Amino acid sequence: MAITSANQLELLQTAEAVAREKMIDPSLVVEAMEESLARAAKSRYGAEMDIRVSIDRKTGKATFTRVRTVVEDEELENYQAEMTVEQAKQYMETPSVGDVFVEEVPPVEMGRIAAQSAKQVILQKVREAERDRQYEDFKDRAGTIINGAVKREEFGNVIVDLGGAEAVLRRNDKIGRESYRPNDRVRAYIKEVRREVRGHQIFLSRTAPEFMAELFKMEVPEIYDGIIEVKAVARDPGSRAKIAVISYDGSIDPVGACVGMRGSRVQAVVNELQGEKIDIIPWNEDQPTFLVNALQPAEVSKVVLDEEAGKIEVVVPEEQLSLAIGRRGQNVRLASQLTNLDIDIMTEAEESARRQKEFEARTQLFMDSLDLDEFFAQLLVSEGFTNLEEVAYVEIEELLVIDGVDEGTAQELQTRAREYLEAKAKAALESARALGAEDSLIEFEGLTPQMVEALAKDDVKNLEDFATCADWELAGGWTTVDGQRIKDDGVLEPFGVTLEEAQDLVMTARIMLGWVDPAELEQAEEEVTEEEAEA
């Protein structure tokens, strides 16, 4: 097992054979051999020495050398690998700091332990080179479909041979209960390629929405040519999916092109996805129209879009409700993923009842706060007034269009509304101070007294407390737990504060406290804008 005692040409032949097998540069294998021989020599001559080995790339001859570096007197630490200028004079004519003295030393014969250690070094280096080669070969192929053969299965994860590289198809990236046997052919989407020290570097997926989009690209020439574009995909892997497409050629129907003659094109994709049912939806820039398409096959009566909250209400006839929701909520869930909107579905009767309830609540609000009779309060609600702020601060002309309201009545309405709001604000401010709210929070621009009161009740009592809040803690948000979306209520959510507004308020507080440098923040925003533009 002594490498130095082997025929020198065999050394090079071995390196070339290993390089061919692993598809790496032969010089990398030779370098690994040089390092392993150097390590073995150090164990013979001493670990403190700087022993280096050079293998001639033509003859295979290994040359062992000892290297010593000239250093300053006070920097001399390792006597075996360093020497002072004075000591170097016996080896060199005019030595100076930084010079290197190299002398050849006799080669070493490796025993069993040293040979085993050298073998491990070579294997490690070859493995690293192989991984580097795999990463370089596949890093630009992320986002494409690849075919491979199943090598083995480990704890539900499938190891796939891609020909010169191994990839892993993890359990949660398989469709349903797919099972594979060795040598089975598998087609998958390269989800990610990342450099790892140990383990697999290429990660495959058959559940990714992009996998379906790429399959359609392979089956539909118009998508490949850019005439038709896949705008969005939502999947419940192995069960059902929705794909939104648009055509840039008015003479080509995007849905028909994706379906193909007698469904041949879509059927090819369905077969690859283990019978997954696919709804092909025409994409539309108008979100309500797109949503109506996305909820097919259900019929929609009315759509109400709240762009600020990113929510949408869909009203359907009673007999269409179960069809719109789908089995276990599948249809509405996929439509929500496809449109990136929160969808509330209700029947026409439910919507009518809700609107009646809202009408009565607003009527009662105006009756109580403005001391109006029911008929007059209903007139205000019918004209579209929803809260006291609108009545108090709207242009007086908008009140004059109401039947029976003259200028004097309009001014009286606004006076009552403003006095009521001021009284409420004063009471909220007193309550906030009683709860311990400090002036730094009370005087912070953008917060009303009612907001300060709500924050104080939540134990946010000064600007420092406010600056540590997360935007979702203020504006509310959604959390996914065990596959279900759970609502997180925000402290300022009842006041209509959006997530973007909450972010701005918190960031302003942090800048005022000196926690964030505005210049650095502006630079970071510019970098993000540039990255988005490049993307």
Average pLDDT, the chain: 82
What per-residue confidence (pLDDT) applies to 364? Answer: 92
Q: Is the pLDDT of residue 2 over 50?
A: no
Pairwise CA distance, residues 7 & 1, whole Å: 12
pLDDT higher than threshold 70 for residue 524: no
pLDDT for 171-217, tens place per residue?
888 887 788 888 889 999 998 888 776 666 789 999 999 999 999 99
Q: Is the pTM of this model over 0.85?
A: no
511-527 average pLDDT score:
79
pLDDT for residue 4 is more than 60: no
List C-alpha distances in Å: 327 to 13, 177, 297, 335, 500.
65, 20, 13, 13, 35
Model confidence over 81-104: pLDDT tens digits?
Answer: 888 877 887 788 778 888 888 877
pLDDT tens-digit map of 218-254: 999 999 999 999 999 999 888 899 999 999 988 899 9
Cis bond upstream, residue 494 (ω within 30)? no
Measure the CA–CA gap between 9 and 130, rounded to whole angstroms. Answer: 24
3-state class (DSSP) for residue 118? helix
Check residue 5 and give its pLDDT. 41
- Residue 3 predicted with pLDDT over 60: no
Domains of the chain plus CATH, in order, are 5-130 (3.30.1480.10), 140-207 (2.40.50.140), 284-358 (3.30.300.20), 359-432 (1.10.150.20), 441-528 (no CATH)
Under the banding of pLDDT at 50, 70 and 90, the label for residue 258 is very high
From 255, 343, 247, select the one nearest 295 (Cα to Cα).
Answer: 343
Phi, psi at residue 265, to the nearest 5°?
-70, -50
